[in-house]
Structure 1
Amino acid sequence: MDLVAPPMAGHLHPALGVAARLAREPGVDVRVISTPGARAAVAAAGVPGLAVLDGADAEVEAIVNPPYPIGSNPVRLSRQFSAALRLQARFQRELAGIWAEQRPDLAIVDFTLPAAGYAAEAAGAGWWTLHASPCAIEATSGPPAYLGGLRPGTGPLGRGRDAAGRLLTRGFKRSVHLATRRRLAALGVTGAYRADGSEAAYSPDRILALTPEAIEFPRRLPPSVRYVGPVLHTPPTTHPVPELTSGRRHVLVTAGTHLPWHKQTLLDLTATAAAALPHVDLHLSLGTVEPSLRAPRTLTSSPSNLHIHPYVDYARDLPRFDAVVHHGGSGVLGHTLAAGLPAVVLPVDYDQFDHAARLVAAGVAVRPRRQGDLAAALRTVLDDPAYARAAARIAAGIAAAPAVDLIAAEVLQFESAAPRSLPGSTGT
């Protein structure tokens, strides 16, 4: 079987974690397909890999990691979508050539690559969606995503607001499809929605949702959705383990590996919070696996309890901290919950506002009214044990049913029900 993902950590790492787990199953042949920029991480995971889109990593980076926030700006969203379509078309053509020679029985495709799903379908393979941000999946009840982080409305007015938001979201997607229908048709996409109302960008058979159901709002989702929780995989790193002084409380501050335009702001906010919390050590991760010209300038005056690291390995290092300040990205969100740590969430773009709303509602995080209130928010999650208790309950649920085991069980069930492989197939 093939797992298909872009090279960005929040998308690639879950695919690698699933691939590494499936590779332990007898008779399951696994391959990870990404761009050349993912080669090192794929090799470190110990699974076979295949690179496509040679020479396109810089273009991929420019699309997913622009030097400004995307938000709900229709012009920026449209520009990003148009650029992504160009790459998806090339990606699909290269996949079609690969699968014409060696077709998998099943392709598990990252939710940002619907063209890969359609390529699998055209090749006669099954395809599932691996979804790190299930809050974005449209439902027939509850609040829609990308509208500032809405919580479920209550009463007639609240439910009416949610219904209006769902209609707005659906209308926007239909208008985008209408504007790009010829290019989408070339990818095999004939409409934004299927006849049953489900989104055509995702698999009709299985959507593997990578957040714990315990933090999700109750919504009527398509029957294909399965909440499995976070896949906790990070490639090995040579970056040193952060030194944590015994007897002090330690907080990790991170915005992941994206959001270059936000790094300087985060550094300034962290320095201000450190000065206000002299008895707490704040450790800021810049999220730069390699030295980067986008790293923020150094501070002219740095509090002694502020420690700056180029990179912190979530799987290895995060459980040693007492709390985390993060942006609501799916990767750090999952690792923080699995470690049983309370959080302060500072969302800045994309689905992060929706994740923040869920974490706050679950009682595991605080979202400050203003970014400048970071120190006060940290005092709350560090001093009020209710946040740590709520986080520990969710962590226990994640540990009791690891996502990779749940996904492996689904794959093995699919394999047992699938017909014998055809010539040219990889077997699984």
Structure 2
Amino acid sequence: MMSKTIAFFPEAAFGPALNSVGIAQAVEALGHKAVFLSDPGFVSVYEGYGFEAHPVNLSAPMPAEQMAKFWEDFINGHIPNFRKSPYEQIDNYVKDCWTAIVDSAKWAEKDLPGVLAKIQPDLICVDNVILFPAIKQYGKPWVRIISCSENEIEDDKIPPHLSGCRQDDHAGHEAYRARFNEVIRPIHEDFNTFLEGTGEAAYPIGQFFEASPFMNLLLYPEPVKFERGHPLDPNQFQYLEGCVRKEKPYEVPTFAANNDKPLIYISFGSLGAGDTDLLKRLIETIGKLPYRALVNVGDYKDQYDNLPGNVKIDSWFPQPSVIPQIDAAIHHGGNNSFTECLYFGKPAIIMPYVWDGHDNATRVDETGHGFKMPRYEWTDADLAAKLDACINDPKMKARLAATSAHMQGRNGPEKAAGILDELVKTGKYDG
């Protein structure tokens, strides 16, 4: 077989990055070469998994350490806005985010043509929320990976992306869309000017990307997918049922207290660890409950002391190796945490703060796979009751077991690799 080069260009966040690693591992198992186009701050992440990675500047060049901290600092600066509803975040977090994302597309256009000419990929997979014109114009098939909530591909019958609305809250959908379009308009007009400068057609208001005509891979699992007014064509859209990567094994440590009790895993992702007040409050509450807990505190380990005997903290966990061993999770609704819990059949309490965490929290709740909880407006009794239900509710257990069996029977990375293999050999996918 002729080995082909497949390039992956995930956005600079661990969720998309590690999803693409999972797919790239499966692609290489088929004999192709996987390479990464990368924000400079993430090059070492891909190299750590043994992949070749080529930097693409997504902002003004800065030292790698500063680059890696960019989004962390961005998120930490918005912690006061985490108390607001998704609708109320449009004017601050969402607006600032889209400003930065549009800026990143403009910067990428300076580097991408040269990097693509150097790598000469046969197929390009991009996991982002915005169009990079150089990828569309490169002349080879390109695939869009949607690692966020599937409502990134819009439909009139489903909640708008980032809104956190329930499926049946049509008035909420309308209000969110209207406010989003109003606030985003100047940023969108600026993006359209940039698009036209690259020879691309302007997008309608609110749209920053398009579906690939070749293939779009949705990481969302089918058991929680939305009921669309216009079902997606399987020749152009495929659900991957999550893309759980392989990680090193994890041995659960011995706890000084409650060592025989159910195990809880708490993580707000690499970027959410800066919300130390919330994590400290959760640790204090769990300290009084009949559980053990592993808590991901990111780069803030030095801010924690006097931990209860039933809690262990660390700056990072090999999450896909930890989740199979837990009884319940508390997380922020990032797509990796969301899909990994479902994949391993583990209930989750989702305390969202931004982006599609709001959508995933609502979805886990309305499909009976866990609970949505506010990040700050809860009592110890609320948390205790929700954890008890997660661990002991027979209906939820049965639903999670069925979803897990469904997802594990499909193997997302292998399915993705098979689709990419067909595309890279024939230029199209015929289902």
TM (norm. structure 2) is: 0.83
Q: After superposition, where does 1:18-417 map in structure 2 within 5 Å? A: 18-26=23-31, 28-53=32-57, 55=62, 57=64, 58-59=66-67, 61-63=69-71, 65-67=74-76, 68-69=78-79, 72-115=89-132, 118-133=133-148, 134-147=150-163, 149-153=164-168, 158-159=169-170, 161-163=172-174, 165-166=176-177, 169=180, 176-186=187-197, 189-193=200-204, 200-219=209-228, 220=230, 223=233, 224-233=236-245, 236=248, 241-243=252-254, 247-275=260-288, 277=289, 279-286=290-297, 288=298, 292=299, 294-295=300-301, 297-299=303-305, 302-368=307-373, 370-372=377-379, 373-417=382-426
State the alpha-carbon separation in 1 of the partners of residues 243 and 208 from structure 2: 24
Residue deviations 1:139-184 (CA, integer Å, cap 9, x gap): 132222322x21122xxxx545545544555565555312443334
1:333 CA displacement: 1.1
How much has 1:46 moved relative to structure 2? 2.7
Instruction: Say if 1:267 and 1:284, in contact at 8 Å, map to a contact too.
Output: no
Tell me the SS of whatever aligns to 1:348. coil
- Distance of 1:260 and 1:247 partners within structure 2: 27
Task: Give, in whole Å, the separation in 1 of the partners of 2:254 and 2:153.
Answer: 40
Q: Distance in 1 between matches of 2:17 and 2:108?
A: 16
CA distance 1:345–1:4, shift in 2 (3 Å) = same
Equivalent position SS for 1:114:
coil
1:5 to partner: Cα distance: 1.6
The Cα shift of 1:21 comes to: 0.7
Number of residue pairs aligned between Structure 1 and Structure 2: 400
Contact map agreement 1:30 1:47 (CA 8 A) in 2: yes
| Distance of 2:396 and 2:271 partners within structure 1 | 27
CA distance in 1, matches of 2:244, 2:412: 8
Offset from partner CA, 1:216-241 (integer Å, 9 cap, x none): 2212355333211211126559x975
Unaligned runs of 5+ in 2: 1-5
Give secondary structure in 1 for the equivalent of 2:386. Answer: helix
State the Cα deviation string for residues 75-117 of structure 1 (Å, max 9, x = none). Answer: 44333333333332222221101223443221000124521xx
Confirm or deny: 8 A CA contact 1:18 1:404 kept in the other structure. Answer: yes
Shift, 1:189, TM fit? 4.8
Cα distance in 2 for partners of 1:302, 1:403 equals 38
TM-score normalised by length of structure 1: 0.83
Counterpart AA for 2:50: G
**Partners in 1 of 2:262 and 2:388 — Cα distance?**
11
Q: Percent identity at matched positions? A: 20
* Cα separation, 1, equivalents of 2:409 and 2:253: 28
Larger mean Cα displacement after TM superposition, 346-355 or 407-416: 407-416
Cα–Cα, structure 1 residues 168 and 113, in superposed 2: closer, same or farther, change >3 Å?
A: closer
In 2, distance between residues paired with 1:191 and 1:60? 32
SS of residue matched to 1:109: strand
Alpha-carbon distance between aligned partners in 1 of 2:337 and 2:111, rounded to the nearest angstrom: 32
Shift of 1:32: 1.4
Measured in 2, the distance between the counterparts of 1:162 and 1:86 equals: 27
2:3 equivalent in structure 1: none
1:250/1:311 CA distance change after superposition, 3 Å: same
- 1:343–1:296: structure 2 CA closer, same or farther, 3 Å change rule? farther
> Which is further off, 314-323 or 255-264?
255-264
What amino acid does structure 1 have at the position aligned with 2:372?
A: R
Structure 1: 5+ residue stretches without partners: 420-428
Alpha-carbon spacing, 1:176–1:347, altered in 2? closer, same or farther (3 Å):
same
Instruction: Tell me the equivalent position of 1:425.
Output: none
Offset, 1:393: 1.1
Bigger mean CA offset, 130-139 vs 356-365: 130-139
Tell me how far apart the structure 2 counterparts of residues 160 and 303 of structure 1 sit (CA, whole Å). Answer: 45
